[in-house]
Amino acid sequence: MHMAAAAQYHGGTFWILDNGLCAILTQSTGYRYGTDPTPQHYPNFGVTSIPNYNNFHATGGQGLTVFGGVNSSSHTGTLRTRGGTGVTLFVALYDYEARTEDDLSFHKGEKFQILNSSEGDWWEARSLTTGETGYIPSNYVAPVDSIQAEEWYFGKLGRKDAERQLLSFGNPRGTFLIRESETTKGAYSLSIRDWDDMKGDHVKHYKIRKLDNGGYYITTRAQFETLQQLVQHYSEKADGLCFNLTVIASNHTPQTVGLAKDAWEVARDSLFLEQKLGQGCFAEVWRGTWNGNTKVAIKTLKPGTMSPESFLEEAQIMKKLKHDKLVQLYAVVSEEPIYIVTEYMSKGSLLDFLKDGEGRALKLPNLVDMAAQVAAGMAYIERMNYIHRDLRSANILVGNGLICKIADFGLARLIEDNEYTARQGAKFPIKWTAPEAALYGRFTIKSDVWSFGILLTELVTKGRVPYPGMNNREVLEQVKSFFDNGIDITAICKSFDSLINSRIQPFLAPSLLENFGTV
Sign of CA dihedral 20, 22, 23, 29: negative
**299 marked as part of a ligand binding site:** yes
The whole-chain average pLDDT of the chain stands at 79
Q: Distance of CA 230 to CAs 102, 224, 226, 251, 416, Å? A: 41, 6, 7, 20, 59
Q: Is the peptide bond before 51 cis (omega within 30 degrees of 0)?
A: no
Flag whether pLDDT at 230 surpasses 70: yes
- Asked if residues 397 and 327 have their Cβ atoms less than 8 Å apart, the reply is yes
Architecture of the domain spanning 268-342: 2-Layer Sandwich (3.30)
Cα 74 to the center of its chain, rounded Å:
26
pLDDT tier at 82, thresholds 50, 70, 90? very low
User: Please, which residues have CB within 8 angstroms of residue 428's CB and are 6 or more apart in sequence?
Assistant: 419, 420, 422, 438, 472
Q: Which residues are catalytic?
A: 390
Distance CA 344, CA 341 (A): 9
Phi, psi for residue 503 in degrees, rounded to 5:
-100, -25
pLDDT digits (tens, 9 = 90+) for 479-496: 888 777 766 656 655 555
Give the number of other Cβ atoms within 10 Å of residue 151's Cβ: 12
For the chain, the distance separating the N- and C-terminal CA atoms, rounded to the nearest angstrom, is 26
Pick the CATH number of 152-250 from 3.30.505.10, 3.40.50.300, 3.30.300.130, 3.10.129.10: 3.30.505.10
Flag whether pLDDT at 424 surpasses 80: no
pLDDT computed for residue 18 by the predictor: 40
Flag whether pLDDT at 177 surpasses 90: yes
- Is the domain 4-32+349-500 a CATH 3.40.50.720 member? no
pLDDT computed for residue 476 by the predictor: 87
* DSSP-derived pairing of the beta strands 200-210 and 78-80: unpaired
pLDDT tier at 50, thresholds 50, 70, 90? low
| SS3 (DSSP) at 210 | strand
Cα 405 to the center of its chain, rounded Å:
6
pLDDT computed for residue 155 by the predictor: 93
pLDDT tier at 502, thresholds 50, 70, 90? low
Reference 40, options 69, 81, 77, 80; nearest CA is 69
Flag whether pLDDT at 75 surpasses 50: no
pLDDT computed for residue 231 by the predictor: 98
By residue count, the chain amounts to 519
Q: Distance of CA 282 to CAs 14, 321, 370, 388, 414, Å? A: 32, 23, 27, 17, 11
Give the residue extent of every domain in the chain.
4-32+349-500, 78-146, 152-250, 268-342
- Asked if residues 347 and 358 have their Cβ atoms less than 8 Å apart, the reply is yes
Reference 455, options 354, 362, 381; nearest CA is 354
Eight-state DSSP code of residue 106: B
Pick the CATH number of 78-146 from 2.30.30.40, 2.40.110.10, 1.10.443.10, 3.10.180.10: 2.30.30.40
Q: Which helix (H) or strand (E) holds 380?
A: helix 364-383
Reference 390, options 378, 380, 402, 400; nearest CA is 378
pLDDT digits (tens, 9 = 90+) for 318-365: 888 899 999 999 999 988 888 999 999 999 999 999 998 789 999 998
Q: Which helix (H) or strand (E) holds 405?
A: strand 404-406
| SS3 (DSSP) at 315 | helix
Q: Which helix (H) or strand (E) holds 16?
A: strand 12-17
Phi-psi map region of 226: left, alpha, beta (phi>0 left; psi -120 to 50 alpha): beta
Flag whether pLDDT at 274 surpasses 90: yes
Q: Where are the beta strands (DSSP E) in 144-236?
A: 176-180, 188-196, 200-210, 216-217, 223-224
pLDDT tier at 44, thresholds 50, 70, 90? very low
Look up the pTM and report it: 0.75
Taking each continuous run of H as one helix and of E as one strand, the counts in the chain are: 12, 23
- Asked if residues 227 and 245 have their Cβ atoms less than 8 Å apart, the reply is no
Flag whether pLDDT at 68 surpasses 70: no
Of the ranges 199-208, 252-261, 456-465, which one carries the lowest mean pLDDT score? 252-261
Distance CA 47, CA 70 (A): 11
Flag whether pLDDT at 6 surpasses 60: no
- Looking at the chain, the whole-number percentage of residues with pLDDT higher than 90 is 51
Exposure of 228 by Cβ count < 10 A (0-12 exposed, 13-18 middle, 19+ buried)? Answer: middle
